[in-house]
Amino acid sequence: MKIVNIFAEQLYAFHYQGEAENEYDRLIEDWTDVSYLRNYAKQNNIKDVNQFVKDKLKDAEQIEDLLEEIATNNQQLEYYFEPLFSTESGTKILSLQKGKKGRNGLRLYAIKIDNNLFVITGGAIKMSQKMQDHPDSNKELGKIKKAKLLLQDEDVIDNDSFYELIKEIEDDE
Amino acid sequence: MTNKEKFNNLVSDETTDTVKRNRDRIKNRARLRESQSIALKVLDKLDELGWSQRKLALAMDVSPQQITKIVKGKENLTLETQTKLQEILDIPILATYYEKMGGEIFSDTHIQETEKYTIPKSTSFKIEYDSETKEYKYYQETA
C-alpha cells in the first residue's frame, strides 16, 4: 500500500496493494466503464439499467470537472469536501446536501490530514442512505477506518476528520 | 514535526499522471460520449440476441479483448469497426444506417390513388386545450 500525490501538495490518494492504480484513477476507470456500470446495475436489480448507466457516466464527468477545478483554482480543498461522520463510531452520516436536486450518485471518501491537505481512501456508487447498508460502501467504510488507523499509528492525524467529496455542480440543478 | 511533515514522510516518491489523464478525458469528452453510446447499443443488442461477447468477436473477426474494449465505451473506434458493428448487429451507428433505411422505405412504398375525400360542408370542428389534463378536447359539431 502506498500514498501517492494527485495534485500539488494538497490532494493525495491511497494506492492499495493488488490494485493497478491509485483510488481516484481506479474509481474513475470503473465509473466511466459502460460495461462495468451495466453489470453493476444488473447485479443491484436496478429497473432502468441504461438510465442508471447514463446517470453515473454524467456523475463521473462532474467529478472529472471537479478535479480539474481543484487543480486549476486556488480554492481551499475544504470548499469541496463535506464532513461524513459526526462521531468516531462512524454511524452517523452528516448530509449537508439532503434533498437537493441533481445530486451526484458517486462518492469519493477522503481523510483530512491538515488544512488544505486531504488523502482519498476510496469511493463508491451511492446505493443506500447509509454506507453500512450496501456491501460496497460498507467495504469502503472499512477502508476509511483502516486508513485512519494507519495514519494514527504514524501519528499523522489526531482527530476525526473523514470527508466526503462534494459533488454539487450548481449549474446542473 | 507537524501533521503535514509526518504525512509527507509516508508519501511515495512515485509521480502520478492523474490530473493529466483527467484533463485528457475532459478534452475528449464528446468522443468518449459517442464511444459510451455505442457500447450501450452493442450491449443492449447482444442481450436482445442472446449473444456472448465471444460470439460477436467471432462474427467480427476480432479478438475477444477487442470486444471487451469496445463495450467499456472508451475506445476511439475506427470507421471499420463501427461499420462492422452496424452491419453485424444491425444497430444504428453511422448516418448510413438511416440513409439506407430511407431508401428501402421509398422503394417499398407505392402511392396509390384512393377514393376521393370531400369534407362534409355541414360539419365544423372545435379544439380546446385543457391545461389541467394537458389534453386537447376535440368537438365535432353536426348541423
Instruction: Give tens-digit pLDDT for B112-136.
Output: 777 777 766 666 677 788 888 878 8
Q: How far apart are CA A141 and CA A135, in angstroms?
A: 10
Amino acid A110: pLDDT: 86
B17 in a domain, yes or no? no
Structural domain span for residue B61: 22-97
Give the residue from A98, A117, A105, A85 showing the smallest Cα distance to A7: A117
Query: For the complex shown, is ipTM > 0.90?
Result: no
- The nearest alpha carbon in chain A to B33 belongs to A57
Q: For chain B, list residues with pLDDT below 70.
A: 103-111, 119-124, 141-143
In this complex, is the C-beta atom of B22 within 8 Å of any C-beta atom belonging to chain A?
yes
B125 in a domain, yes or no? no
CATH number of the CATH domain containing B38? 1.10.260.40
Q: Please, which pLDDT band fits residue A173 given cuts at 50, 70 and 90?
A: very low
Amino acid A164: pLDDT: 64
Q: Please, which pLDDT band fits residue A165 given cuts at 50, 70 and 90?
A: low
Amino acid B55: pLDDT: 97
For B81, phi then psi, to 5°, come to -65, -40
B67 in a domain, yes or no? yes
* Whether A113 and B7 lie within 8 Å, measured CB to CB: yes
B63 in a domain, yes or no? yes
In this complex, is the C-beta atom of B12 within 8 Å of any C-beta atom belonging to chain A?
yes
Would the pLDDT of A89 be above 90?
Answer: no
Q: Is B15 helix (H, G, I), strand (E, B) or coil?
A: coil
Taking CB atoms and an 8 Å cutoff, what residues of chain B touch A157? 3
B68 in a domain, yes or no? yes
B109 in a domain, yes or no? no
Q: How many structural domains does chain B have?
A: 1
B54 in a domain, yes or no? yes
C-alpha grid cell, residue A37:
456500470
- The nearest alpha carbon in chain A to B39 belongs to A34
C-alpha grid cell, residue B57:
468477436
Q: Is B127 helix (H, G, I), strand (E, B) or coil?
A: strand
In this complex, is the C-beta atom of B46 within 8 Å of any C-beta atom belonging to chain A?
no
Q: Confirm if B126 and B115 have CB atoms less than 8 A apart.
A: no
Distance, CA of B92 to chain centre: 8
* Whether A35 and B19 lie within 8 Å, measured CB to CB: no
Amino acid A5: pLDDT: 94
Amino acid B91: pLDDT: 96
What would you report as the CA-atom Rg of chain B, rounded to the nearest whole angstrom?
Answer: 29
B60 in a domain, yes or no? yes
Amino acid A167: pLDDT: 42
Which of B3, B18, B40 is closest, CB to CB, to A50? Answer: B40
Q: Global pTM?
A: 0.78
- Contacts of residue A57, Cβ cutoff 8 Å, sequence gap at least 6: A31, A32, A34, A37, B33, B36, B73
Q: Which residue has the cell 446505493?
A: A127
Count how many residues are written for chain A. 173
In this complex, is the C-beta atom of B20 within 8 Å of any C-beta atom belonging to chain A?
no
Which of A13, A25, A50 is closest, CB to CB, to B21? Answer: A25
- DSSP at A8: T
- The nearest alpha carbon in chain A to B40 belongs to A34
* Whether B19 and A71 lie within 8 Å, measured CB to CB: yes
Structural domain span for residue A82: 2-172
Give the residue from A91, A64, A92, A96 showing the smallest Cα distance to A79: A96
In tens, the pLDDT along A93-140 reads 333 233 333 478 888 888 888 888 888 999 899 888 777 888 888 888
Q: How many structural domains does chain A have?
A: 1
In tens, the pLDDT along A51-81 reads 999 999 999 998 899 889 888 987 788 777 7
